[in-house]
A = this chain, B = another copy of it.
Amino acid sequence: MKVSILGATGQNGSSIVDGLLASSETKFDLTALVRPSSLEKSNVTDLQKRGVNIVSFNLGDPEAEVAAQLKGTDVLIVCCLVDELALANAAKKAGVKRYIPCFYATVMPRGVQTLRDNKELVLDHIQRLHLPYTIIDVGWWYQISLPRLPSGRLDRNLFLYSTAIGGNGDVPSARTDARDVGVYVARIIADPRTLNQKVLAYTDLRTQHELYNTVEKLSGEKLERKYRTAGEIDDGIAKTKDSNMMDYYQYTYQKSYDIMGENTPEYARYLGYLVGKDLYPDMEGISFEDFFQETLETGLKPMYEEHADMLRKFSSFVFKGAAATE
């Protein structure tokens, strides 16, 4: 199965490359589509050493040329910010058999968050093209679900984190280890049942209180539990909507998952999603307990390294402690 990927070196992209290369069920012939200016970057040459084909790709080229480059692609995976309308046009022209637009987040209806709504506009365009597709959402990453430990021992590389529990803390939410995204993607893109469907693939479903309880139990530290009411979240959304997109996204995500309870298999099914656990009952992702135990022992893997400094400057959801800049 010939798979091409845009954004192979990003947070989701690298997980997907790992997942596809490790797949034993399906053999993937994997190509990373890379901007000409990035061809010599070390993370790109590293991919090549691991057996990924590297192709210079410029979405600004004439559509016919872009389509010619995509010819023969079975699955085209997008996991970076690009003009997906232009890309989908070329993919349709090239006869791509399945297009995976950049979703990979929590389940949410339309009209809650502009970031999500823009993804839906891409889906609308795909559907106007009659282009075969699969939507993949994975819930919220473990790696950005943790509260800060009072001891500060997670501060190094703590990035997006749980600054406050939304609502009463008793609403379940779906979470996944970022490293498992690719494992799920490998299974989903080879599955005929998921063609032209939305899929929520997640590992863990628990409330904020349950998550805090687990963190307390495994760390042996007592956490301070701060709460953010539905009203405070709505105020946060109103205040940041036109001024601070990063905080606006976080408030809207939190409204959806902590207040509305939308990041659940139940609500996903209501929206017409298939659910990974129903499709693949044999699959077990990394448990939250194992992830957190490992994190305590070896530290938290850095997230969004490239943008971290920039984001630390203005987002209230990004950890800014002294240790973080070590």
- A residues near B (Cβ < 8 Å) are 109-112, 124-125, 127-128, 130, 132, 196-197, 260, 267, 269-272
User: Bound state CA distance, A100 and B267, in angstroms?
Assistant: 19
Chain A interface secondary structure, helix, strand, loop or mixed? loop
Give the residue of B112, B128, B197, B269 whose beta carbon is less than 8 angstroms from that of A128. B112
Contact A196 B270 (CB under 8 A): yes
Contact B197 A127 (CB under 8 A): no
The chain B residue with its CB closest to the CB of A266 is: B130
A131 to chain B, nearest CB (A): 10
Q: Which residues of B contact A125 (CB under 8 A)?
A: 111
A242 to chain B, nearest CB (A): 21
Contact A130 B196 (CB under 8 A): no
- 22 A-B Cβ contacts within 8 A? A109-B124, A109-B127, A109-B128, A110-B124, A110-B127, A110-B128, A111-B124, A111-B125, A111-B128, A112-B128, A127-B270, A127-B271, A130-B260, A130-B267, A130-B270, A132-B270, A196-B269, A196-B270, A196-B271, A196-B272, A197-B272, A272-B272
User: Bound state CA distance, A109 and B110, in angstroms?
Assistant: 15
User: Bound state CA distance, A125 and B109, in angstroms?
Assistant: 9
The chain B residue with its CB closest to the CB of A262 is: B130
Q: Which residues of B contact A128 (CB under 8 A)?
A: 109-112
Q: Which residues of B contact A260 (CB under 8 A)?
A: 130
A136 to chain B, nearest CB (A): 15
User: Bound state CA distance, A196 and B109, in angstroms?
Assistant: 13
Q: Which residues of B contact A196 (CB under 8 A)?
A: 269-272
Q: Which residues of B contact A270 (CB under 8 A)?
A: 127, 130, 132, 196
